[in-house]
Amino acid sequence: MSRTETNSAETTRIIGATLEFHGAAGEVTGSCTLVRTPKARIVIDFGMFQGSPADEARNAVAPEIDFALVDAVVVTHAHIDHCGRLAMLPNLGFRGKIYATTATHELLGRVLRSSAKLQRARFYERASGSAPWGRALMPGEVAGPAPEFPPAQRLFDTPDVRDTMDKVEGVPLDREVKIAPHVALTFRNAGHTPGAASAELSIGVGADRRVLYFTGDLGADREGHVSLLAAPHRPANADVIVVESTNGERQRGQLPDPDETLAEIVAEAARKRLKVLAPVFALGRAQLLVHRLARLHAKGLLHGLNVYVDSPMAVYGIESLYKHPEYLAPDLRDSVRAGGAPLWFPELHYVLSKRESMAIDRMVHGGIILAGSGFMDAGPMLRHLEESLDREDCMVLLGGYQPEDGFGKRMQRGADRAQFTGGKVVPIRASTSRVDGLSGHAYQDDLVRWFSRLDHKPARVILNHGTDAARATLAGRLSNELGLACTAPKPLEELSV
Ligand SMILES: [Zn+2]
């Protein structure tokens, strides 16, 4: 055998890769994909399953991956459904490195420590029967007993977080780093949340190199529209794209301009001195809303209304954007680089402790409180709701997705009472309002447009992180309109690419 033939055979062995989907295949949480080449094993994301108690229970079951053999773990962003189980790695025998963007690296320690703290609190609260909960009641509906929570999972604790963070290496966007034999990683801007990136894996060498592109959660390219974050990067030469499809079934259509809707809500709140409760997720909607409120301030339309960001994590998210302006839309990036603070305004207040949070509960009349959780089922938002729902001068500002039959959806449908921990029932006198068009996820049209604008058509598109219906709808459009070969893998399915 000649020298050339030997090299060629070796290269062929190097570039073949298999993908295994250990989460988020046909669902929107628990992201975890194993990439196997003959020379390396890489895991992309290790997130928690979220939703029902049954989903929660799945977190304690480690995926069938021999982590002792995994060279590297790549984390796309600091949302718990993508990074939430990382702190289990030290106890699963993982000895390699964890790669995240520099910005995500900075957020990750806080997210995992806060998760450990929450797991401890839940463990004691559920064991003692004092777990906080809330339920909006429809007219005529009888208040029921407390929900039955299963015993809380203790997946990891603070020392595990410390051991995990010792393994994390922060990498700037667009810088290639070698992470395993014949595998290089480049993070690309995903436009989803502060620090969020897509993972571009380059496998093999020379002309036989193949590029696998994992979008992670992807924001929308809202060209011509106001945007907080930069448009998601479009890969130049991806052979295989693993794309998220959370909103694969949803058409964006003509969304109303959030600035206009918000201006009307703010004007009403200022006129009636309303206490506005805005349920948000700390990384994502919180920053999107603060950006829009800063714009209202700049236009003289905030009417002196105070805005309280009642979430340390949301505050870190805002600060992260100042520190890493490369994630911001061009106009905001330029402003920050010139020393500006485009997300700041005099009425903006950070609430960084439970004590401060309890104090604003009592003092706010004519102000907006941004607090978690975005689904109104946990966190300080539950306490704010319990405190204020019986007040006519309270308004709940909803936005984005709310779970079917959850607190927010029920309020929109006319719930007239709410029940909280200990069985306390309060009448709902607060009003509701909605602001749309502030999603961190690309919609179906956005995803189709993103693919249509790629200079290099991928040989294969693999859809994950979406329900089967969302994946089927999106796959239909991508193959019919753009001629792309699409696959929607089942859980644990192995795909050779
Ligand atoms: Zn996300």
Kindly give the distance from the C-alpha atom of residue 190 to the centroid of ligand 1, in angstroms, as a whole number: 10
Taking each helix axis from N to C end, the angle separating 158-165 and 102-127, rounded to the nearest 10 degrees, works out to 170
Nearest to 374 by CA among 442, 330, 323, 310: 310
Place of tokens 């999603």: 439
Can you read off the two tokens belonging to residue 325? 């302006």
Tally the domains of the chain: 2
Tokens 């990136």: give the residue.
197
CA 171 to ligand 1 center in whole angstroms: 19
Mean pLDDT over 127-137 rounds to: 91
Question: Quick one: what percent of the chain has pLDDT higher than 90?
Answer: 83
Helix count and strand count (H, E) for the chain: 14, 23
Q: Measured in angstroms, how far is the CA atom of residue 370 from the centroid of ligand 1?
A: 19
Distance 83 CA to ligand 1 centre (A): 10
pLDDT reported for residue 438 = 87
In a domain, 82, yes or no: yes
Question: Is residue 294 domain-shared with residue 317, that is, in the same domain?
Answer: yes
Based on the number of CB atoms within 10 Å of its own CB, is 163 exposed (0-12), middle (13-18) or buried (19 or more)?
Answer: middle
Residues 180-226 pLDDT 10s: 999 999 999 999 999 999 999 999 988 889 999 999 999 988 777 89
Residue 1 covered by a domain: no
Contacts of residue 25, defined as CB under 8 A and 6 or more positions apart, other chains included, come to 464, 488, 489, 490, 491, 492, 493
Give the model's pLDDT for residue 15. Answer: 59
For the stretch 392-403, what's the b/e string if a residue is b when 16 or more beta carbons lie within 10 angstroms of its beta carbon?
ebbbbbbbbbbe
217 CA distance to ligand 1 middle (Å): 5
118 alpha carbon – ligand 1 mean position (Å) = 19
Phi-psi region of 304 (alpha: psi -120 to 50; beta: other; left: phi over 0): left
Length of the chain: 497
Statement to judge: residues 247 and 263 lie in one domain = no
Whether residue 192 is found in the same domain as residue 113: yes
- Alpha carbon of 148 to ligand 1 centroid (Å): 29
CA 78 – ligand 1 centroid, Å: 7
Q: Are residues 111 and 204 in the same domain?
A: yes
With cut-offs at 50, 70 and 90, classify the pLDDT of residue 488: very high
Q: What share of the chain has pLDDT > 70, as a percent?
A: 97
- Phi, psi values for residue 370, rounded to 5°: -95, 120
Q: Which of 434, 453, 469 is the last residue of a domain?
A: 434
Find the 441 Cα to ligand 1 centroid distance in Å. 8
Centroid of ligand 1 to alpha carbon of 103 (angstroms): 14
Residues 204 and 342 in one domain: no
Question: Does the pLDDT of residue 101 top 80, yes or no?
Answer: yes
Q: Say how many CA atoms lie within 13 Å of 27 toward its Cβ.
A: 19
Q: Please give the average per-residue pLDDT across 425-439, as a whole number.
A: 94
Q: Does the residue 172 lie in any domain? A: yes
The answer on 313 and 336 residing in a single domain is yes
The pLDDT of residue 306:
96
Q: Which residue has the higher pLDDT, 214 or 364?
A: 214
Instruction: Indicate if the pLDDT at residue 14 is higher than 70.
Output: no
Contact between 274 and 268 under an 8 Å Cβ cutoff? The reply is yes
Compute, in angstroms, the gap from residue 487 CA to the centroid of ligand 1. Answer: 22
Question: Across all residues in the chain, what is the average pLDDT?
Answer: 93
Cα(111) to centroid(ligand 1), Å: 13
Separation of CA 92 and ligand 1 centre (Å):
24
Q: How far apart are CA 453 and CA 443, in angstroms?
A: 16
Residue 165 included in any domain: yes
CA of 192 to the centre of ligand 1 (A): 7
Q: How confident is the model at residue 143 (pLDDT cuts 50, 70, 90)?
A: very high
**Of the given ranges (52-56, 353-357, 485-489), which has the lowest mean pLDDT?**
52-56
Q: How far, in Å, from the CA of 71 to the mean position of ligand 1?
A: 24
What number of other Cβ atoms are within 10 A of residue 102's Cβ? Answer: 18
Contact yes or no for 32/63 (Cβ under 8 A): yes
Tell whether 415 is covered by a domain.
yes
Tell me the residue type at 189.
Answer: N
User: Average pLDDT for residues 321-332, to the nearest whole number?
Assistant: 98
Q: Which of 404, 434, 464 is the last residue of a domain?
A: 434
* Residue that is last in its domain, among 411, 434, 457: 434
Return the pLDDT at 221.
84
User: Is the pLDDT score of 11 beyond 60?
Assistant: no
Both 467 and 367 in a single domain?
A: no
User: How confident is residue 10, by pLDDT bands cut at 50, 70 and 90?
Assistant: very low
pLDDT beyond 50 at 8: no
Helical axes 379-388 vs 354-363, angle rounded to 10° = 20
pLDDT, position 202: 96
Please check whether residue 143 lies inside any domain of the structure.
no
What span, in angstroms and rounded, lies between the C-alpha atoms of 77 and 324? 14
Q: What is the pLDDT of residue 437?
A: 84
Q: Is the pLDDT of residue 4 over 70?
A: no
Q: Are residues 173 and 27 in the same domain?
A: yes
Q: What is the pLDDT of residue 310?
A: 97
pLDDT at 87 over 80: yes
Cα-to-centroid distance, 77 and ligand 1 (Å): 7
Ligand 1 centre distance from Cα of residue 484 (Å): 25
Q: How far is the CA of 47 from the centre of ligand 1 (A)?
A: 10
In a domain, 140, yes or no: no
**If you measure from the C-alpha of residue 72 to the centroid of ligand 1, how many angstroms do you get, rounded to a whole number?**
21
Whether pLDDT at 56 is above 90 = no
139 alpha carbon – ligand 1 mean position (Å): 35
Same domain (yes/no): 364, 345: yes
pLDDT surpassing 70 at residue 457: yes
Cα-based distances in Å from 72 to 48, 226, 243, 471, 475: 19, 37, 21, 28, 30
Q: What are phi and psi of 41, to 5 degrees?
A: -130, 125
CATH of the domain at 466: 3.60.15.10
Nearest to 289 by CA among 17, 281, 164: 281
User: Please, are residues 437 and 222 in contact by the beta-carbon 8 Å criterion?
Assistant: no
Predicted confidence at residue 470, as pLDDT, reads 95
- Measured distance CA(377)–CA(410) in Å, rounded: 12
Give the integer Cα–Cα distance in Å for 476 and 458: 16
Distance of CA 193 from the midpoint of ligand 1 (Å): 7
Pairing of strands 367-371, 417-420: unpaired
Predicted TM-score (pTM) of this structure: 0.94
How far is ligand 1, taken at its centre, from the CA of residue 220, in Å? 13
Dihedral of the CA atoms 28, 30, 31, 36 (nearest 10)?
-140
Q: For residues 448 and 396, what is the distance between their CA atoms, to the nearest angstrom?
A: 34
43 SS3 class: strand
Is residue 12 very low, low, confident or very high in pLDDT (cuts 50, 70, 90)? Answer: very low
How remote is the CA of residue 216 from the centroid of ligand 1, in Å? 8
C-alpha–C-alpha distance, residues 395 and 318, integer Å: 25
Instruction: Using the mean position of ligand 1's atoms as its centre, give its distance from the Cα of residue 398 in Å.
Output: 19
CA–centroid distance, 81 to ligand 1, in Å, is: 7
How far away, in angstroms, is 457 Cα from ligand 1 center?
Answer: 25
Q: For residue 429, what are its two tokens?
A: 């006198």
Sheet of 240-244, strands arranged across:
177-180, 183-189, 197-203, 210-214, 240-244, 460-464, 486-487
120 shares its domain with 239 = yes
What average pLDDT score do residues 15-43 get? 93
Do 93 and 29 lie in a common domain? Answer: yes
Q: How far is the CA of 255 from the centre of ligand 1 (A)?
A: 21
What is the domain extent for residue 347?
258-434
CA 229–ligand 1 middle distance (angstroms): 14
Half-sphere exposure of 12 (CA within 13 A, CB side): 6
CA of 410 to the centre of ligand 1 (A): 25
List the CATH number of the domain containing 365.
3.40.50.10890
Mean pLDDT is lowest, of 244-258, 287-301, 411-425, for: 244-258
CA pair distance 468, 488, nearest whole angstrom: 8
**CA 246 to centroid of ligand 1, rounded, Å:** 10
Higher pLDDT, 9 or 420: 420
Query: From the CA of 188, how far away is ligand 1's center (Å)?
Result: 15
Q: How far is the CA of 240 from the centre of ligand 1 (A)?
A: 21
